[in-house]
Amino acid sequence: MKPINKPALTAKSGSINTAISKLLVSVVLIITLFYSTLLLIYSWVVEDNIFNRQVMDEAAYIQEVYKATGEIVQPRSSYMTLHLNWQGLPPQFKKEKQQKPDKVEFDYPDGRTIHLQLFTIENQTYVLSADVAGFEVSRDFLPRILWMLALLSLCCCLVVAVVAIFKARRITHPLNRLAEQVSKHQRIEDIQVQGHYPNNEIGTLAARIKDAFERLVQAWAREANFTKDVSHEIRTPVTIAKNLLAKPFSEVSQSDWHTLHDANLRLEQTTEILLALARNESTKLSNTNLTQLLEQCLLQNTDVNLSSKGQDIEFEIEAEQDVYQTINENLVSILFNNVLSNIVHYTSGKSVTIKITCNDITFTNAYHQTPPTELLKSGEKGQNSQGIGHGLSLVKRISDVCGWQVLVSATKKHFVLTLNFDK
């Protein structure tokens, strides 16, 4: 059989592993960076709120003292200063406060930061400022915190990378094994999907690929066998017909007409068998009652029921019980009909015994001729046969497809054909 060559498959080994590892590391890196940013923002917000709370508490204290004593006292903390009507403060602070009334933090041009709190006493506006530049720790510790967060992100990425590589290899190992089994052979018929696969999408994919390749190889084998069988089995009857038709009509004898009729019959049977073997339906199996199927074939066979010779033959079926086998019913029906037609054409007696057991089916009929040396070989026929010698070869051909063994025993008195399905 000519091999089926497939296109060369090129793939980067471990590409899925790398993709999974990169994806997980990238996700972890993004999460750690996002967490670090949130942590920094949170620390700045907490620090600012602490300063704001201190300024507000001090402003409330000054107002309470004024209500109690009528005096305006200076702030208790040295880093706080009380201003009357923005005196001593840069003019831009007042403009910014008017534009954004909720703003409490302001920056000097030199980078210092102060927090302001406005309050009113006796229709006079006071501004309490807190120079917190000496108390801000977030800026001082920012480089150290950044290094710590970077180290944390690096450690997380390394741990995740190790785990991701291990898990990715474990997850993709069945897929890589499947890809290797499919891609390492150039001939499709050499591809074999073997081994255990997990019960998930990869296992389903492996099962479907295995089934697809098996179907493809079977289809190719059927096509190759069909081509070979057509050239081998049909050529002989076609040649016989051409040779007889090339003769002048006056030179065609009665024997020639019988030969032409037999060649035409065999050509029809051969075509039917080869087409049945070539179709995909020939691979579909079912549990079938062989005893009942054989009886149906006997009742429907044309040679048995319509020919004068067939009507004179008595068929006796010996079956103790119904025998069931997992077969392709169409193929076995063709097989039985072919055997029955051969018996009708070549039996020398008036009775045929068919014995069915759980292991085989045996056809026994009278045979008063010298048997050929190789009965199952295509083209071999009996000494007085007017056929072309394809009957039993086709029986063997179908039996091989069904997984049965054909055994033939022929003497000058009896012909015994056994189909053994318990090989």
The domain that holds 401 is classified in CATH as: 3.30.565.10
The reported pLDDT for the residue numbered 280 is 64
Q: Determine, yes or no, domain membership for 63.
A: yes
What is the predicted pLDDT for the residue at 295? Answer: 92
> Mean pLDDT across the stretch 285-305?
89
* Residues 119, 255 share a domain: no
132 and 243 housed in the same domain: no
pLDDT of residue 389: 39
362 phi and psi angles, rounded to 5 deg: -120, 125
Rounded alpha-carbon distances, angstroms, from residue 352 to 217, 343, 384, 415: 41, 8, 20, 10
More confident residue, 176 or 148: 148
- 180 with 224, same domain? no
Q: What is the average pLDDT across 195-216?
A: 78
DSSP per-residue string spanning 43-75:
HHHHHHHHHHHHHHHHHHHHHHHHHHHS--PPP
Q: How far apart are CA 79 and CA 119, in angstroms?
A: 18
Q: Are 244 and 183 in contact (CB under 8 A)?
A: no
The residue among 159, 185, 211 that closes a domain is: 185
- Token pair of 136, please? 């801000």
Task: Fill in the DSSP letter of residue 187.
Answer: B
- What is the pLDDT at residue 10? 44
**Residue 138: HSE in the Cβ half-sphere, 13 Å Cα cutoff:** 14
What pTM was estimated for this model as a whole? Answer: 0.48
- pLDDT for residue 122: 83
pLDDT, residue 362, reads 93
Q: Are 3 and 189 in contact (CB under 8 A)?
A: yes
Q: Where are the beta strands (DSSP E) in 249-386?
A: 286-289, 314-319, 324-327, 351-356, 360-366
> Could you give phi then psi for residue 84, rounded to 5 degrees?
-100, 120
Mean pLDDT of the chain: 79
Report the pLDDT averaged over residues 277-286.
74
User: Which tens digits make up the pLDDT trace of 101-156?
Assistant: 888 888 887 777 888 888 888 888 888 888 887 776 667 677 788 888 888 888 88
Q: Is residue 206 part of a domain?
A: no
Total domains in the chain come to 2
Q: To 10 degrees, the CA torsion angle through 188, 194, 200, 205? A: 10
* 228 lies in the same domain as 144: no
Higher-confidence residue of 203 and 57: namely: 57
Contact 329, 289 (CB under 8 A): no
* Final residue before a domain boundary, out of 165, 185, 205: 185
Task: Mark whether 285 and 330 lie in a shared domain.
Answer: yes
Question: Across residues 165-183, what is the average pLDDT?
Answer: 77
Enclosing domain of residue 89: 1-185
